[in-house]
Chains A and B, each alone.
Chain A
Protein backbone atom coordinates (compact mmCIF):
# COMPACT_ATOMS: atom_id res chain seq x y z
CA UNK A 1 0.00 0.00 0.00
CA UNK A 2 0.92 3.64 -0.41
CA UNK A 3 0.60 6.37 2.19
CA UNK A 4 1.39 10.00 1.42
CA UNK A 5 1.24 12.84 3.92
CA UNK A 6 1.48 16.55 3.16
CA UNK A 7 3.81 16.05 0.21
CA UNK A 8 5.38 19.25 -1.13
CA UNK A 9 7.87 19.87 -3.94
CA UNK A 10 9.31 23.28 -4.79
CA UNK A 11 11.34 23.99 -7.91
CA UNK A 12 13.10 27.23 -7.09
CA UNK A 13 10.25 29.49 -6.06
CA UNK A 14 7.60 27.45 -7.85
CA UNK A 15 5.48 24.94 -5.89
CA UNK A 16 4.77 22.04 -8.24
CA UNK A 17 3.19 19.78 -5.59
CA UNK A 18 1.37 21.55 -2.79
CA UNK A 19 0.53 19.49 0.28
CA UNK A 20 -0.77 16.29 -1.26
CA UNK A 21 -2.07 13.54 1.08
CA UNK A 22 -3.72 10.26 0.20
CA UNK A 23 -3.57 6.53 0.84
CA UNK A 24 -3.95 3.64 -1.58
CA UNK A 25 -4.89 0.29 -0.01
CA UNK A 26 -3.24 -2.90 -1.20
CA UNK A 27 -4.66 -4.36 -4.40
CA UNK A 28 -6.43 -1.21 -5.55
CA UNK A 29 -6.19 0.41 -8.98
CA UNK A 30 -5.79 4.07 -8.16
CA UNK A 31 -5.94 6.87 -10.74
CA UNK A 32 -4.29 10.26 -10.49
CA UNK A 33 -6.16 12.50 -12.90
CA UNK A 34 -5.02 15.97 -13.85
CA UNK A 35 -4.09 18.25 -16.74
CA UNK A 36 -0.58 18.72 -18.09
CA UNK A 37 1.58 20.47 -15.55
CA UNK A 38 -0.66 19.58 -12.61
CA UNK A 39 2.19 17.87 -10.76
CA UNK A 40 1.48 14.22 -11.56
CA UNK A 41 4.95 13.26 -12.74
CA UNK A 42 6.58 15.19 -9.92
CA UNK A 43 4.42 13.24 -7.44
CA UNK A 44 5.26 9.91 -9.07
CA UNK A 45 8.97 10.72 -8.99
CA UNK A 46 8.77 11.44 -5.27
CA UNK A 47 6.74 8.29 -4.60
CA UNK A 48 9.33 6.22 -6.46
CA UNK A 49 12.29 7.83 -4.63
CA UNK A 50 13.93 9.40 -7.70
CA UNK A 51 13.11 12.91 -6.52
CA UNK A 52 13.55 14.17 -2.97
CA UNK A 53 10.44 15.91 -1.57
CA UNK A 54 10.77 19.43 -0.19
CA UNK A 55 8.68 18.21 2.74
CA UNK A 56 6.16 15.53 3.64
CA UNK A 57 6.41 11.76 3.93
CA UNK A 58 5.90 8.84 1.59
CA UNK A 59 5.42 5.29 2.81
CA UNK A 60 5.75 2.50 0.27
CA UNK A 61 4.51 -0.75 1.79
CA UNK A 62 5.50 0.68 5.17
CA UNK A 63 8.97 1.83 4.06
CA UNK A 64 9.77 5.52 4.32
CA UNK A 65 10.88 6.54 0.82
CA UNK A 66 13.36 9.10 2.14
CA UNK A 67 14.90 6.99 4.90
CA UNK A 68 14.81 3.52 3.36
CA UNK A 69 14.83 4.17 -0.37
CA UNK A 70 16.30 0.77 -1.27
CA UNK A 71 13.63 -1.12 0.66
CA UNK A 72 10.94 1.05 -0.92
CA UNK A 73 12.37 0.52 -4.41
CA UNK A 74 12.35 -3.25 -4.00
CA UNK A 75 8.55 -3.13 -3.56
CA UNK A 76 7.79 -1.00 -6.58
CA UNK A 77 7.86 -1.24 -10.33
CA UNK A 78 7.48 1.76 -12.60
CA UNK A 79 6.76 2.71 -16.17
CA UNK A 80 7.94 6.30 -16.52
CA UNK A 81 6.16 8.85 -18.66
CA UNK A 82 9.06 9.00 -21.11
CA UNK A 83 10.75 5.85 -22.45
CA UNK A 84 13.54 4.46 -20.26
CA UNK A 85 14.72 1.38 -22.14
CA UNK A 86 18.22 0.82 -23.47
CA UNK A 87 17.75 1.36 -27.20
CA UNK A 88 20.84 -0.57 -28.18
CA UNK A 89 19.97 -3.76 -26.32
CA UNK A 90 17.40 -6.35 -27.33
CA UNK A 91 14.06 -6.74 -25.58
CA UNK A 92 15.29 -9.81 -23.69
CA UNK A 93 18.54 -8.09 -22.71
CA UNK A 94 16.61 -5.15 -21.29
CA UNK A 95 14.69 -7.55 -19.06
CA UNK A 96 17.87 -9.38 -18.13
CA UNK A 97 19.58 -6.16 -17.00
CA UNK A 98 16.52 -5.23 -14.99
CA UNK A 99 16.34 -8.65 -13.34
CA UNK A 100 19.98 -8.48 -12.28
CA UNK A 101 19.62 -4.91 -10.96
CA UNK A 102 16.74 -6.12 -8.79
CA UNK A 103 18.57 -9.24 -7.61
CA UNK A 104 16.23 -11.73 -9.30
CA UNK A 105 17.94 -15.18 -9.39
CA UNK A 106 19.06 -16.42 -12.83
CA UNK A 107 16.56 -19.27 -13.20
CA UNK A 108 13.70 -17.00 -12.18
CA UNK A 109 14.90 -14.35 -14.64
CA UNK A 110 14.73 -16.79 -17.54
CA UNK A 111 11.28 -17.96 -16.52
CA UNK A 112 9.91 -14.45 -15.92
CA UNK A 113 11.42 -13.14 -19.15
CA UNK A 114 9.56 -15.71 -21.23
CA UNK A 115 6.33 -15.44 -19.26
CA UNK A 116 6.23 -11.64 -19.39
CA UNK A 117 7.33 -11.23 -23.00
CA UNK A 118 4.63 -13.71 -23.98
CA UNK A 119 2.21 -11.81 -21.79
CA UNK A 120 2.84 -8.52 -23.62
CA UNK A 121 3.12 -10.34 -26.95
CA UNK A 122 6.76 -9.55 -27.64
CA UNK A 123 8.22 -13.02 -27.22
CA UNK A 124 8.70 -13.50 -30.96
CA UNK A 125 10.71 -10.28 -31.07
CA UNK A 126 12.79 -10.84 -27.96
CA UNK A 127 16.11 -10.78 -29.81
CA UNK A 128 15.49 -7.59 -31.74
CA UNK A 129 17.26 -4.37 -30.83
CA UNK A 130 14.75 -2.08 -29.12
CA UNK A 131 15.67 0.86 -31.35
CA UNK A 132 13.50 -0.70 -34.05
CA UNK A 133 10.41 -0.96 -31.82
CA UNK A 134 7.33 1.27 -32.16
CA UNK A 135 6.15 3.43 -29.28
CA UNK A 136 3.48 0.90 -28.34
CA UNK A 137 5.95 -1.98 -28.32
CA UNK A 138 8.34 -0.04 -26.10
CA UNK A 139 5.49 0.64 -23.67
CA UNK A 140 4.63 -3.05 -23.55
CA UNK A 141 8.27 -3.94 -23.03
CA UNK A 142 8.50 -1.42 -20.19
CA UNK A 143 5.39 -2.89 -18.62
CA UNK A 144 6.89 -6.38 -18.79
CA UNK A 145 10.12 -5.05 -17.34
CA UNK A 146 8.35 -3.29 -14.49
CA UNK A 147 6.69 -6.59 -13.52
CA UNK A 148 9.90 -8.63 -13.76
CA UNK A 149 10.77 -8.48 -10.04
CA UNK A 150 7.15 -9.03 -8.91
CA UNK A 151 6.57 -5.59 -7.40
CA UNK A 152 3.76 -5.19 -4.87
CA UNK A 153 3.04 -1.74 -6.28
CA UNK A 154 3.08 -0.75 -9.93
CA UNK A 155 3.43 2.90 -10.91
CA UNK A 156 2.37 3.96 -14.41
CA UNK A 157 2.93 7.58 -15.40
CA UNK A 158 0.64 8.32 -18.36
CA UNK A 159 1.24 4.85 -19.75
CA UNK A 160 -0.86 5.34 -22.86
CA UNK A 161 -0.04 8.87 -23.90
CA UNK A 162 0.71 9.18 -27.59
CA UNK A 163 -0.54 5.67 -28.42
CA UNK A 164 -3.35 4.75 -30.80
CA UNK A 165 -6.69 3.67 -29.25
CA UNK A 166 -6.15 0.00 -30.01
CA UNK A 167 -2.73 -0.09 -28.33
CA UNK A 168 -4.16 1.87 -25.42
CA UNK A 169 -6.84 -0.67 -24.68
CA UNK A 170 -4.29 -3.42 -25.18
CA UNK A 171 -2.02 -1.91 -22.51
CA UNK A 172 -4.88 -1.51 -20.06
CA UNK A 173 -5.94 -5.09 -20.61
CA UNK A 174 -2.43 -6.19 -19.60
CA UNK A 175 -2.39 -3.93 -16.55
CA UNK A 176 -5.80 -5.06 -15.33
CA UNK A 177 -4.95 -8.67 -15.84
CA UNK A 178 -1.66 -8.42 -14.00
CA UNK A 179 -3.33 -6.50 -11.16
CA UNK A 180 -5.89 -9.27 -10.87
CA UNK A 181 -3.54 -12.22 -11.21
CA UNK A 182 -0.73 -10.88 -9.07
CA UNK A 183 -2.76 -8.79 -6.61
CA UNK A 184 -0.60 -5.79 -7.50
CA UNK A 185 -1.51 -2.31 -6.30
CA UNK A 186 -1.58 0.01 -9.32
CA UNK A 187 -1.03 3.75 -9.19
CA UNK A 188 -1.48 5.40 -12.56
CA UNK A 189 -1.63 8.97 -13.79
CA UNK A 190 -3.57 10.15 -16.78
CA UNK A 191 -5.14 13.17 -18.35
CA UNK A 192 -7.61 11.02 -20.28
CA UNK A 193 -11.08 11.14 -18.71
CA UNK A 194 -12.22 7.90 -20.29
CA UNK A 195 -9.28 5.94 -18.87
CA UNK A 196 -9.73 7.43 -15.43
CA UNK A 197 -13.39 6.51 -15.47
CA UNK A 198 -13.03 3.04 -16.90
CA UNK A 199 -9.90 1.75 -15.17
CA UNK A 200 -9.62 3.42 -11.77
CA UNK A 201 -11.43 2.04 -8.73
CA UNK A 202 -10.47 5.19 -6.85
CA UNK A 203 -9.46 8.57 -8.21
CA UNK A 204 -7.68 11.64 -6.98
CA UNK A 205 -8.13 14.72 -9.13
CA UNK A 206 -5.11 17.03 -9.06
CA UNK A 207 -4.84 20.57 -10.35
CA UNK A 208 -2.03 23.07 -9.79
CA UNK A 209 -0.33 20.72 -7.35
CA UNK A 210 -3.37 20.24 -5.11
CA UNK A 211 -5.86 17.41 -4.80
CA UNK A 212 -9.29 18.88 -5.50
CA UNK A 213 -11.37 15.69 -5.21
CA UNK A 214 -11.09 12.09 -4.01
CA UNK A 215 -13.30 9.04 -4.42
CA UNK A 216 -14.57 6.58 -6.97
CA UNK A 217 -15.41 8.04 -10.38
CA UNK A 218 -19.09 7.57 -9.49
CA UNK A 219 -18.72 9.35 -6.18
CA UNK A 220 -16.90 12.28 -7.76
CA UNK A 221 -19.66 12.70 -10.32
CA UNK A 222 -22.32 12.50 -7.63
CA UNK A 223 -20.49 14.96 -5.43
CA UNK A 224 -20.32 17.54 -8.23
CA UNK A 225 -23.77 16.67 -9.63
CA UNK A 226 -22.14 16.13 -13.02
CA UNK A 227 -23.22 13.69 -15.70
CA UNK A 228 -19.67 12.94 -16.88
CA UNK A 229 -16.23 13.07 -15.33
CA UNK A 230 -15.40 15.81 -17.82
CA UNK A 231 -18.14 18.01 -16.36
CA UNK A 232 -17.11 17.06 -12.84
CA UNK A 233 -13.60 18.22 -13.61
CA UNK A 234 -14.83 21.58 -14.90
CA UNK A 235 -17.03 21.98 -11.85
CA UNK A 236 -14.06 21.27 -9.58
CA UNK A 237 -11.41 23.37 -11.28
CA UNK A 238 -13.25 25.90 -13.40
CA UNK A 239 -11.47 24.76 -16.54
CA UNK A 240 -11.31 21.74 -18.83
CA UNK A 241 -8.46 19.27 -18.97
CA UNK A 242 -7.60 19.19 -22.65
CA UNK A 243 -4.05 19.41 -23.96
CA UNK A 244 -4.60 22.83 -25.49
CA UNK A 245 -4.97 24.16 -21.98
CA UNK A 246 -1.41 23.36 -21.05
CA UNK A 247 0.28 26.60 -20.07
CA UNK A 248 2.63 28.16 -22.62
CA UNK A 249 5.55 27.31 -20.34
CA UNK A 250 4.61 23.64 -20.37
CA UNK A 251 4.23 23.63 -24.11
CA UNK A 252 7.69 25.14 -24.40
CA UNK A 253 9.07 22.47 -22.12
CA UNK A 254 7.42 19.71 -24.14
CA UNK A 255 8.79 21.21 -27.34
CA UNK A 256 12.29 21.50 -26.03
CA UNK A 257 12.13 17.93 -24.78
CA UNK A 258 11.09 16.68 -28.19
CA UNK A 259 13.71 18.78 -29.85
CA UNK A 260 16.49 17.63 -27.56
CA UNK A 261 15.39 14.03 -27.77
CA UNK A 262 15.76 14.10 -31.52
CA UNK A 263 19.41 15.00 -31.58
Chain B
Protein backbone atom coordinates (compact mmCIF):
# COMPACT_ATOMS: atom_id res chain seq x y z
CA UNK B 1 0.00 0.00 0.00
CA UNK B 2 2.98 2.30 0.62
CA UNK B 3 3.85 2.08 -3.05
CA UNK B 4 0.35 3.10 -4.15
CA UNK B 5 0.39 6.01 -1.74
CA UNK B 6 3.82 7.34 -2.74
CA UNK B 7 2.95 7.24 -6.46
CA UNK B 8 -0.25 9.11 -5.71
CA UNK B 9 1.61 11.63 -3.54
CA UNK B 10 4.20 12.13 -6.24
CA UNK B 11 1.51 13.22 -8.66
CA UNK B 12 0.06 15.67 -6.17
CA UNK B 13 3.51 17.16 -5.65
CA UNK B 14 4.08 17.54 -9.35
CA UNK B 15 0.70 19.22 -9.66
CA UNK B 16 1.34 21.62 -6.80
CA UNK B 17 4.61 22.67 -8.46
CA UNK B 18 3.12 23.26 -11.90
CA UNK B 19 1.41 26.58 -11.20
CA UNK B 20 1.17 27.51 -14.86
CA UNK B 21 -0.64 24.26 -15.55
CA UNK B 22 -3.12 24.84 -12.75
CA UNK B 23 -3.99 28.31 -14.00
CA UNK B 24 -4.18 27.22 -17.63
CA UNK B 25 -6.53 24.37 -16.91
CA UNK B 26 -8.81 26.68 -14.93
CA UNK B 27 -9.08 28.93 -17.95
CA UNK B 28 -11.48 26.79 -19.93
CA UNK B 29 -14.14 26.29 -17.25
CA UNK B 30 -13.91 29.94 -16.25
CA UNK B 31 -14.44 30.97 -19.86
CA UNK B 32 -17.49 28.72 -20.11
CA UNK B 33 -18.86 30.02 -16.86
CA UNK B 34 -18.47 33.66 -17.82
CA UNK B 35 -19.21 33.57 -21.55
CA UNK B 36 -22.04 31.05 -21.48
CA UNK B 37 -23.26 31.76 -17.98
CA UNK B 38 -23.76 35.45 -18.49
CA UNK B 39 -24.35 35.22 -22.24
CA UNK B 40 -27.24 32.77 -22.14
CA UNK B 41 -28.76 33.80 -18.83
CA UNK B 42 -31.35 36.16 -20.39
CA UNK B 43 -32.48 33.61 -23.02
CA UNK B 44 -32.72 30.91 -20.36
CA UNK B 45 -34.82 33.15 -18.16
CA UNK B 46 -37.13 34.19 -21.02
CA UNK B 47 -37.69 30.51 -21.80
CA UNK B 48 -39.00 30.16 -18.26
CA UNK B 49 -36.10 27.95 -17.10
CA UNK B 50 -34.96 30.18 -14.26
CA UNK B 51 -31.38 31.00 -13.41
CA UNK B 52 -28.89 29.67 -15.98
CA UNK B 53 -25.88 29.89 -13.64
CA UNK B 54 -27.73 27.48 -11.33
CA UNK B 55 -28.05 25.10 -14.26
CA UNK B 56 -24.60 25.60 -15.78
CA UNK B 57 -22.37 25.63 -12.68
CA UNK B 58 -22.45 21.85 -12.02
CA UNK B 59 -21.65 21.27 -15.71
CA UNK B 60 -18.68 23.62 -15.52
CA UNK B 61 -17.42 21.92 -12.36
CA UNK B 62 -17.62 18.58 -14.18
CA UNK B 63 -15.79 20.14 -17.11
CA UNK B 64 -12.92 21.28 -14.89
CA UNK B 65 -12.68 17.76 -13.55
CA UNK B 66 -13.00 15.69 -16.64
CA UNK B 67 -10.54 17.48 -18.88
CA UNK B 68 -7.92 17.56 -16.13
CA UNK B 69 -8.55 13.90 -15.37
CA UNK B 70 -8.44 12.71 -18.97
CA UNK B 71 -5.32 14.74 -19.73
CA UNK B 72 -3.50 13.14 -16.81
CA UNK B 73 -3.07 10.27 -19.28
CA UNK B 74 -0.36 12.33 -20.93
CA UNK B 75 1.78 11.78 -17.84
CA UNK B 76 2.11 8.13 -18.76
CA UNK B 77 3.61 9.08 -22.11
CA UNK B 78 5.64 11.75 -20.38
CA UNK B 79 7.06 9.32 -17.82
CA UNK B 80 7.79 6.89 -20.59
CA UNK B 81 9.66 9.52 -22.56
CA UNK B 82 11.63 10.79 -19.59
CA UNK B 83 12.24 7.33 -18.19
CA UNK B 84 10.56 7.44 -14.80
CA UNK B 85 8.10 4.77 -15.93
CA UNK B 86 10.99 2.28 -16.07
CA UNK B 87 11.92 3.10 -12.49
CA UNK B 88 8.43 2.01 -11.41
CA UNK B 89 8.29 -1.03 -13.70
CA UNK B 90 11.52 -2.46 -12.30
CA UNK B 91 10.45 -1.95 -8.66
CA UNK B 92 9.26 -5.02 -6.71
CA UNK B 93 5.58 -4.07 -7.00
CA UNK B 94 2.84 -5.22 -9.34
CA UNK B 95 1.63 -3.29 -12.36
CA UNK B 96 -1.74 -3.11 -10.66
CA UNK B 97 -0.22 -1.20 -7.74
CA UNK B 98 1.47 1.20 -10.14
CA UNK B 99 -1.65 1.92 -12.16
CA UNK B 100 -3.69 2.24 -8.97
CA UNK B 101 -1.29 4.80 -7.53
CA UNK B 102 -1.18 6.75 -10.76
CA UNK B 103 -4.94 6.71 -11.17
CA UNK B 104 -5.62 7.80 -7.60
CA UNK B 105 -3.06 10.57 -8.00
CA UNK B 106 -4.55 11.76 -11.28
CA UNK B 107 -8.06 11.60 -9.86
CA UNK B 108 -7.06 13.50 -6.71
CA UNK B 109 -5.58 16.27 -8.84
CA UNK B 110 -8.74 16.43 -10.96
CA UNK B 111 -10.93 16.50 -7.87
CA UNK B 112 -8.91 19.37 -6.41
CA UNK B 113 -9.31 21.19 -9.68
CA UNK B 114 -13.07 20.57 -9.48
CA UNK B 115 -13.21 22.00 -5.97
CA UNK B 116 -11.44 25.14 -7.15
CA UNK B 117 -13.89 25.55 -10.04
CA UNK B 118 -16.74 24.98 -7.60
CA UNK B 119 -15.40 27.86 -5.51
CA UNK B 120 -15.25 30.07 -8.59
CA UNK B 121 -18.88 29.19 -9.39
CA UNK B 122 -19.90 30.34 -5.91
CA UNK B 123 -18.07 33.59 -6.56
CA UNK B 124 -20.00 33.91 -9.82
CA UNK B 125 -23.28 33.71 -7.93
CA UNK B 126 -24.05 29.98 -7.72
CA UNK B 127 -25.98 28.98 -4.59
CA UNK B 128 -26.06 25.45 -3.18
CA UNK B 129 -29.73 24.54 -2.61
CA UNK B 130 -29.26 21.34 -0.62
CA UNK B 131 -26.27 21.66 1.73
CA UNK B 132 -27.16 18.26 3.21
CA UNK B 133 -26.41 16.67 -0.17
CA UNK B 134 -22.92 18.23 -0.47
CA UNK B 135 -21.18 14.93 0.40
CA UNK B 136 -23.16 13.30 -2.41
CA UNK B 137 -22.02 16.04 -4.77
CA UNK B 138 -18.39 15.41 -3.80
CA UNK B 139 -18.87 11.68 -4.26
CA UNK B 140 -20.06 12.31 -7.83
CA UNK B 141 -17.12 14.62 -8.43
CA UNK B 142 -14.78 11.91 -7.18
CA UNK B 143 -16.39 9.27 -9.41
CA UNK B 144 -16.15 11.51 -12.48
CA UNK B 145 -12.48 12.13 -11.61
CA UNK B 146 -11.76 8.42 -11.36
CA UNK B 147 -13.69 7.52 -14.50
CA UNK B 148 -11.95 10.09 -16.68
CA UNK B 149 -8.51 9.46 -15.20
CA UNK B 150 -9.11 5.87 -16.26
CA UNK B 151 -10.01 7.10 -19.76
CA UNK B 152 -6.69 8.95 -19.72
CA UNK B 153 -4.88 5.79 -18.60
CA UNK B 154 -6.43 3.76 -21.41
CA UNK B 155 -5.42 6.30 -24.04
CA UNK B 156 -2.02 7.14 -22.50
CA UNK B 157 -1.11 3.44 -22.28
CA UNK B 158 -2.18 2.75 -25.84
CA UNK B 159 -0.38 5.61 -27.58
CA UNK B 160 3.26 6.53 -27.48
CA UNK B 161 2.91 9.66 -29.55
CA UNK B 162 2.78 12.76 -27.42
CA UNK B 163 1.37 14.85 -30.24
CA UNK B 164 -1.45 12.48 -31.06
CA UNK B 165 -2.64 12.26 -27.48
CA UNK B 166 -4.29 15.69 -27.09
CA UNK B 167 -6.06 15.18 -30.41
CA UNK B 168 -7.37 11.76 -29.48
CA UNK B 169 -8.30 13.01 -26.04
CA UNK B 170 -10.28 15.92 -27.43
CA UNK B 171 -11.94 13.65 -29.93
CA UNK B 172 -13.16 11.40 -27.12
CA UNK B 173 -13.81 13.81 -24.28
CA UNK B 174 -15.30 16.85 -26.01
CA UNK B 175 -18.32 15.06 -27.54
CA UNK B 176 -18.95 13.29 -24.24
CA UNK B 177 -18.98 16.65 -22.54
CA UNK B 178 -21.28 18.41 -24.99
CA UNK B 179 -23.72 15.49 -25.11
CA UNK B 180 -24.08 15.23 -21.35
CA UNK B 181 -26.61 17.91 -20.37
CA UNK B 182 -23.66 19.82 -18.89
CA UNK B 183 -24.53 23.04 -20.68
CA UNK B 184 -28.07 22.54 -21.96
CA UNK B 185 -31.08 20.48 -20.82
CA UNK B 186 -32.01 17.42 -22.85
CA UNK B 187 -35.75 18.10 -23.09
CA UNK B 188 -36.84 19.17 -26.53
CA UNK B 189 -33.67 17.97 -28.25
CA UNK B 190 -33.94 16.08 -31.55
CA UNK B 191 -34.49 12.37 -30.88
CA UNK B 192 -31.05 11.20 -32.04
CA UNK B 193 -29.29 13.77 -29.92
CA UNK B 194 -31.41 12.83 -26.93
CA UNK B 195 -30.58 9.16 -27.51
CA UNK B 196 -26.86 9.89 -27.76
CA UNK B 197 -27.00 11.81 -24.50
CA UNK B 198 -28.93 9.06 -22.76
CA UNK B 199 -26.27 6.55 -23.81
CA UNK B 200 -23.51 8.79 -22.49
CA UNK B 201 -22.54 7.74 -18.96
CA UNK B 202 -21.34 11.25 -18.20
CA UNK B 203 -24.96 12.44 -18.50
CA UNK B 204 -25.75 10.50 -15.33
CA UNK B 205 -22.65 11.80 -13.59
CA UNK B 206 -23.62 15.38 -14.34
CA UNK B 207 -27.24 14.76 -13.40
CA UNK B 208 -26.18 13.33 -10.05
CA UNK B 209 -23.85 16.24 -9.40
CA UNK B 210 -26.43 18.83 -10.45
CA UNK B 211 -29.20 17.13 -8.49
CA UNK B 212 -27.09 17.01 -5.35
CA UNK B 213 -26.27 20.71 -5.65
CA UNK B 214 -29.61 22.12 -6.86
CA UNK B 215 -32.16 19.48 -5.93
CA UNK B 216 -33.26 19.02 -9.57
CA UNK B 217 -32.69 15.46 -10.77
CA UNK B 218 -33.63 14.39 -14.31
CA UNK B 219 -32.89 10.75 -13.42
CA UNK B 220 -33.28 9.24 -9.93
CA UNK B 221 -30.17 9.68 -7.80
CA UNK B 222 -29.75 5.94 -7.26
CA UNK B 223 -29.76 5.28 -10.99
CA UNK B 224 -27.23 8.08 -11.61
CA UNK B 225 -24.95 6.59 -8.96
CA UNK B 226 -25.36 3.06 -10.24
CA UNK B 227 -24.59 3.85 -13.88
CA UNK B 228 -21.65 6.14 -13.14
CA UNK B 229 -20.27 3.70 -10.57
CA UNK B 230 -20.49 0.71 -12.90
CA UNK B 231 -18.91 2.59 -15.80
CA UNK B 232 -16.11 3.85 -13.53
CA UNK B 233 -15.28 0.32 -12.37
CA UNK B 234 -15.27 -0.93 -15.97
CA UNK B 235 -13.00 1.93 -17.09
CA UNK B 236 -10.61 1.35 -14.19
CA UNK B 237 -10.35 -2.31 -15.15
CA UNK B 238 -9.75 -1.41 -18.80
CA UNK B 239 -7.10 1.14 -17.79
CA UNK B 240 -5.33 -1.38 -15.56
CA UNK B 241 -5.35 -3.92 -18.36
CA UNK B 242 -3.98 -1.49 -20.97
CA UNK B 243 -1.32 -0.32 -18.53
CA UNK B 244 -0.25 -3.89 -17.78
CA UNK B 245 0.53 -4.31 -21.49
CA UNK B 246 3.00 -1.43 -21.72
CA UNK B 247 6.49 -2.43 -22.86
CA UNK B 248 9.52 -0.20 -22.47
With A73-B92, A88-B14, A88-B18 as known contacts, state yes or no: A50 contacts B248, CB within 8 Å: yes
Inter-chain CA distance A86–B3, complex, in Å, is 15
Contacting pair A84 B81 (CB below 8 A): no
Contacting pair A82 B13 (CB below 8 A): no
Task: Write the B34-63 contact mask toward A (1 if CB under 8 angstroms, else 0).
Answer: 000000000000000000000000000000
Contacting pair A100 B81 (CB below 8 A): no
Please give the distance in Å from B98's CB to the nearest CB on chain A: 9
Contacting pair A89 B14 (CB below 8 A): yes
Inter-chain CA distance A145–B5, complex, in Å, is 19
Q: Is A102 an interface residue (CB 8 A)?
A: yes
With A82-B83, A88-B18 as known contacts, state yes or no: A101 contacts B94, CB within 8 Å: no
Contacts of B3 in A (CB 8 A): 100-101, 103
Q: Is B184 an interface residue (CB 8 A)?
A: no
Q: Is B191 an interface residue (CB 8 A)?
A: no
Q: Is A260 an interface residue (CB 8 A)?
A: yes
Contacts of A101 in B (CB 8 A): 3, 6-7, 87-88, 91-93
On chain B, which size bracket covers the interface? Answer: 20 to 34
With A48-B90, A51-B247 as known contacts, state yes or no: A89 contacts B13, CB within 8 Å: yes
Contacts of B90 in A (CB 8 A): 48-50, 73, 76, 78
Contacting pair B91 A73 (CB below 8 A): yes
Contacting pair A100 B2 (CB below 8 A): yes
Task: Write the A59-95 contact mask toward B (1 if CB under 8 angstroms, else 0).
Answer: 0000000000011011010101011111111000100
Contact of B86 among A50, A73, A87, A100 (CB under 8 A): A50
Inter-chain CA distance A89–B18, complex, in Å, is 11
Q: Is A97 an interface residue (CB 8 A)?
A: yes
Inter-chain CA distance A6–B93, complex, in Å, is 27
Q: Is B189 an interface residue (CB 8 A)?
A: no
Inter-chain CA distance A248–B6, complex, in Å, is 42
Task: Write the B1-29 contact mask toward A (1 if CB under 8 angstroms, else 0).
Answer: 01101110010011001100000000000
Contacts of A263 in B (CB 8 A): 162-163
Which B residue sits closest to A257, measured CB to CB? B81
Contacts of A97 in B (CB 8 A): 6-7, 10
With A73-B92, A100-B2, A100-B6 as known contacts, state yes or no: A88 contacts B17, CB within 8 Å: yes
Please give the distance in Å from B33's CB to the nearest CB on chain A: 30
Contacts of B93 in A (CB 8 A): 70, 101
With A83-B82, A88-B17 as known contacts, state yes or no: A102 contacts B92, CB within 8 Å: yes
Contact of B87 among A49, A76, A98 (CB under 8 A): A98
